[in-house]
A and B are shown apart, each in its own frame.
Chain A
Amino acid sequence: GQQVMQIPQYQHVQEGEDFTTYCNSSTTLSNIQWYKQRPGGHPVFLIQLVKSGEVKKQKRLTFQFGEAKKNSSLHITATQTTDVGTYFCAEPSYNTDKLIFGTGTRLQVFP
């Protein structure tokens, strides 16, 4: 079945360091979404990207959609302990247009 790969799988950073997670697809995407799941919590929608090369910012979070619309990234500047959690990208299924969630990147921030 369709798998959405994210790298890295885990990332441990010192508070204040930057963090980036990448989502790669083998096909051109119509859109991509990002979600965050805190430890013990549930996924919460962060943002959706639609346009080629689109860049959107939410405070210290920067989301980017590749020019070819085949990859996306989430960059966090100067991480804080509140950024701890797993970040998922989600892309449309090839044949059903349902959302398929990525494998996730688990971020741990050390104070």
Chain B
Amino acid sequence: ETGVTQTPRHLVMGMTNKKSLKCEQHLGHNAMYWYKQSAKKPLELMFVYNFKEQTENNSVPSRFSPECPNSSHLFLHLHTLQPEDSALYLCASSQDIQSSYEQYFGPGTRLTVT
């Protein structure tokens, strides 16, 4: 148990659907992250939040919209996705955003876009 939970674990959606991924951390951390992991690709950092404020957006298409209502919860809103967006979406948290802090990952949401 890593203290980071994600729901749903699996999601199949059509290109016209709207869905949301949820992440919750029970570790008292200040920083939260969204990563995308595709087959044969390294972990791609998408968004970073520190104390609920977005500090980084790595040129992610606008069809992905993050939301961080508080330091414990993080959402990723999805709309009009493309088949190439199919991937494992991982949420992570750390004590703070500096690179010296280890990151704790959730189990991920396996997303399939049809």
Contact = CB atoms under 8 A, between A and B. Distances in A.
A42 B2 CA distance: 10
Size category of the A interface is 20 to 34
B103 A99 contact: yes
Contacts of A103: 42
Interface in A37-64: 41-45, 48, 50
Identify which of B48, B56, B97, B105 gathers the most chain A CB atoms within 10 Å of its CB.
Answer: B105
Contact of A101 (B43, B48, B107, B108): B43
A24 to B, nearest CB: 14
A91 B90 CA distance: 18
Given A98-B45, A98-B56, A42 B107 contact: yes
A98 B97 contact: yes
A93 interface: yes
A99 B2 CA distance: 19
A45 B99 contact: no
Contact of A31 (B90, B99, B105): B99
A47 B61 CA distance: 33
Given A30-B100, A43-B90, A45-B103, 12 more contacts: A33-B99, A42-B108, A44-B105, A45-B102, A48-B100, A88-B43, A90-B99, A90-B103, A96-B56, A97-B99, A98-B99, A99-B45
